[in-house]
Amino acid sequence: MDGIFGTVAAAVGMFAGTNVDDLIVLTVLFLAGRADGRPRAWQVWAGQYLGIAALVVVSVVAALGLSVVPDDWVGLLGLVPFALGVRGLVAAIRARGDDSSPAVAGSLLAVAGVTIANGADNISVYTPVFRTIGAGATVVTVAVFAVGVAVWCLVASWLGSHKRVIEVVERYGHWLVPAVFIAIGTVIVVESGVLGKLV
């Protein structure tokens, strides 16, 4: 019994520690959805689950000794939110004078893509853990992650429900949301050190 509690506690700590920045992304997505109708709440939830599931699958596969994406190049996934942000800015410039703000990640797949890109570094944390804990503990860990995604979505939805914040996003969201995505993508690429390998 102690083993299960220990596994759950470790999984909770691992999920929280590797997904703190995801709270910011999810909050921005929920805010954008409330201000402009896209993405819809179910798309944020489903996209987050799909993205985290993809990260877990890649980590499990890597733990079995197979490399899907070489570690040196994982940082390139930061180009996903960066590109979405640039697209959002271009759309905002074209729509000047229009009150509606263009959706940066307005679909389930776009949300999943941002989740994967933002959590690409999680693979380096999850892989050695899945390699050492065994099948039973892996199942428990994945179940904890599934609960963690729900908690994250609920917290982000609550953070994104404040009236004043929604008013700010409605007014400046067509610039603010793309800027956040560009910043996230830039941080992912820069911190991964992948630029040094390309130059």
Per-residue pLDDT tens, the chain, 199 aa: give them.
557 888 898 899 889 888 877 888 888 888 888 777 778 889 999 999 999 999 999 888 887 875 555 556 666 767 777 887 787 788 777 766 555 544 566 688 888 888 888 777 778 778 878 888 888 889 999 999 999 999 999 999 998 787 776 666 666 666 776 777 788 778 777 776 766 666 5
The number of domains in the chain is 1
Identify the pLDDT of residue 75.
66
Domain range spanning residue 157? 2-198
Of 199, 170, 179, 194, whose CA–CA distance to 82 is shortest? 179
Phi and psi at residue 45, to the nearest 5°: -60, -55
Identify the pLDDT of residue 199.
59
Q: Are 144 and 11 in contact (CB under 8 A)?
A: yes
Longest dimension (CA), the chain: 62
Q: What digits encode the pLDDT tens for the residues 71-120?
A: 566 667 677 778 877 877 887 777 665 555 445 666 888 888 888 887 77
Which residue type, as a one-letter code, is found at position 193? Answer: G
Of 115, 44, 109, whose CA–CA distance to 78 is shortest? 115
Cα 117 from Cα 101, distance rounded (Å): 23
